[in-house]
Amino acid sequence: MGDHLEKLNTNLKRVEELSQRLVEALANKGQNDPGLNGPGPDLYMKASMAYWSELVNNPAKLMERQVKFWADSVTHYAEAQQNLAQGKLEPPEDNTPDDRRFSNPLWKTHPYFNYVKQQYMISANAIEASLKDLEGLEHKDRQRIEFFAKQMVDLFAPTNFLATNPDALERAVETEGESLVKGLENLVRDIEAHKGEILPTLADGSAFELGKNIATAKGAVIYRNEMMELLQFAPTTETVYKKPVIIFPPWINKYYVMDLRPENSLIRWIVDQGYTLFVVSWKNPDKSYSDKGLEDYIEKGYLKAIDVVKEVTGSKAVNAVGYCIAGTTLSLTLSLLKKRRQKPISSATFFTTLTDFSDQGEFTVFLQDDFVDAIERQVAEDGVLDNKYMAKTFSFLRAKDLIYGPAVRSYMMGEAPPAFDLLYWNGDGTHLPGKMTVQYLRGLCQSNDFAERTFELMGKKLKVSDVDLPLCAIACEADHIAAWKDSYRGVQKMGSEDKTFILSQSGHIAGIINPPNKKKYGHYTNDDLSLSVKDWREQAEFHEGSWWPRWEAWLRTHSGKRVAARSLGESGYKILAQAPGTYVKETPEL
C-alpha cells in the first residue's frame, strides 16, 4: 500500500508541474491569420442557404432523414436497455462495419463501449446522408463542406476521449496512472515545440542523424549558391552512361526521402545501374528569402545546376527528373528553354507531378480564396510560409492516421513516438518563400494558367504544350497530394511525341520509393495516351513489382554510350562538404 501511495504522490506532483508548463506553453501560442484555421464565413453561409432551400423545397426528404436518425438512435437504446433488463451484460447485435480505430474487443463485447461506438456510427452516417441531400451547391463548395464535416466527425470519434477509449483506460489501470502522466508529458512537449499548436510528434527525432543512419549514400557537395547545394554521388560501377542524371526534389520537404536506408534508397539504386547522379538539396529559407520566386528556383536552381553538371561531366545534355512541385517547375523550365531555343536537357522524368490544375482533387479545400487570401496575408507578414502550415494541411488530409491516431497513442496511452525514418523525414519540413508561394497558389493552382492559357515568367509566356522532349511520367494510384488522373491529363497536354506514363500502386511516397527487392507494389502501363482517364486505366496492363527497372530501361535509351566512371569534383569543382551537405540540416527559426 505504501509503495502505491508513494507512486501516486509522485505522479500527482509531476502532473502539477506539467500542468504549469502546459498553461505557459498555451499562453505562448504564436499569432497567425485566423483564415488559416478554418473556412471563411461564406462557406458556412452557402451550407446554411443550401440546407434552408432544401427545407423549404423538399421538407419531406429532410424530415425522413431526421426521423430515420431518431428511429435508429431510439431503437439502438431500446435494444441495449432490453439486454440489461434481462440481466444480459452483453451488447445488442452489432452490424457496424470494421474500423481499425475500434479494434479492441471491448468495442464489440462490452455494453458501454459498444453502445458508444454504435451511436457514433449512427450519428456519422446521419451527417453523411444529410450532406448528400443538399442541392444547389457548386462542386467545389460541396467538396469543402463534406471535407469539414468529415473533420468534425473524425474529431468526435469516441476513441479520441479518455472516458470512451478502452485501450487508454486499460493502460491507465495497468500502469497505475503512469501512462496518463507520460501522455501529459508528451502533450506539453509537443505544444512547446510547436509554439502553442497541438500537433503530435510522429517520429522519435533522437533516433536519427543525417549522414549517420539516414541519408548515408556516399557523395559530396560540389557547388553551392543561395538557393541550393548540388550533390554528386560516388560511382559504384567502373563505367557509367555518358549522359548524367540530375534529380530536382520538392523544396516543400528535403531530398533524402530518396535515401532513407540503403535497402530502399533510390539514389543508391540509380548509381548502381551505372549513372552519374546529381541531386539538388534546396536551401531552407528564412525571412530574408521573402522575395524569392519561381524565377529564382529556375535560374539559380535548375539552370545553374544543369550548367554545372554539364561542365563536370563534359556532356552536352542531361537527363532531368522532377518530383512533385519540382516536376511542375521542371515543366516551366522546359517551356522557358524552348522559348530561349536552348536544349540542355535530353529527357525529362516526372514523379507525381501536376501541370494541369483544372481538378484540384482533395486539395480543393485549401485552394479557395479564403485560405489562399489568408496565406497571402501571412507570408506578407512573415516573409515565408512556415512549414507548420504545410504540415497541418497534409496531416488533415489524412487526419485519422496523422493526427488523431498518433495523438491517442502519445497523449492517452503515453507511448513514445516510433523510430520510423519516413515519419522522421515527413516532420523535417522546410519553409517556403512568400513570393514563390503566392505565384504557385495563384498562377498555377487557382488560375491554371500554365495548362489553359500562358504563365508569364522571366519575360516569357510559358505553356505546358511547350514541353516537347522525350518524357516519362510516374504517378501513384492512391496519391492524395498529386492525384494520378490529374497528372495524366497534364501529360496529355504536353507537346512531346515520345511520352511514357506509368501508374504505380500506393501513394505519393510509397509508390515512388518502391525498390525492386521488396516486390511490394506493382504498376500499370498503357502506350495509348489519347484515351480518357477511365479508358486508360481499364485497358492498362498490370505488372508485378516496382516500376524502377522499367523506367531505367527507358532512361537507358536516352543516356548514350558507357564511359569511365567519373570521380567526385572533377573539372575544377572542389568538394565543399560531404553528403548529405549543409543545407539539408538547416531549420531556421521564424
CA-nearest of 332, 368, 472 to 43 is 368
373, HSE (Cβ side, Cα atoms, 13 Å): 8
Query: Residue 476 catalytic?
Result: no
Listing DSSP states for 6-41 in one string gives HHHHHHHHHHHHHHHHHHHHHHTPPP--GGGSS--H
Q: Output the pLDDT for position 51.
A: 56
Number of helical H runs and strand E runs in the chain: 22, 17
Q: Write out the chain's pLDDT in tens, 590 residues.
A: 556 667 766 776 787 788 888 888 777 776 676 666 666 667 656 656 655 555 556 666 666 667 777 777 888 878 878 877 777 777 888 888 889 999 999 999 999 999 999 999 999 998 888 887 777 777 777 778 888 888 889 999 999 999 999 999 999 888 888 898 999 999 989 888 877 778 888 899 899 999 999 999 999 999 999 999 999 999 999 999 999 999 999 999 999 999 999 999 999 999 999 999 999 999 999 999 999 999 999 999 999 999 999 999 999 999 999 999 999 999 999 999 999 999 999 999 999 999 999 887 777 777 788 888 889 999 999 999 998 888 787 788 788 888 899 999 999 999 999 999 998 998 898 999 999 999 999 999 999 999 999 999 999 999 999 999 999 999 999 998 899 999 999 999 999 999 999 999 999 999 999 999 888 899 999 999 999 999 999 999 999 999 999 999 999 999 999 999 998 977 778 999 999 999 999 988 76
Helix H, strand E, coil C: the string for 197-266 is CCCCCCCCHHHCCECCCECCCCEEEEEECCCEEEEEECCCCCEEECCCEEEECCCCCCHHHHHCCHHHCH
pLDDT recorded at residue 112: 92
* pTM of the predicted model as reported, rounded to 2 decimal places: 0.90
Q: Which residue has the cell 502533450?
A: 187
Helices assigned H by DSSP within 447-571:
449-452, 484-493, 533-539, 548-556
What pLDDT is recorded for position 146?
A: 82
The predicted pLDDT at position 302 comes to: 98
Q: What is the pLDDT of residue 151?
A: 86
3-class SS of residue 77: helix
| Catalytic residue, candidates 324, 445, 472, 476 | 324
Parse the chain into domains and list their residue ranges.
31-174, 219-368+431-585
497 DSSP 8-state letter = S
Q: Where are the beta strands (DSSP E) in 30-176?
A: none
Q: Does residue 319 sit in helix, strand or coil?
A: strand
Cα 475–477–478 angle (5° rounding)?
A: 115
Rounded Cα distance, 403 and 409, in Å: 10
pLDDT of residue 55: 54
CATH architecture of 219-368+431-585: 3-Layer(aba) Sandwich (3.40)
> How far apart (Å, rounded) are the C-alpha atoms in residues 501 and 475?
8
Beta-sheet pairing, 455-457 with 432-433: unpaired
pLDDT at 399: 83
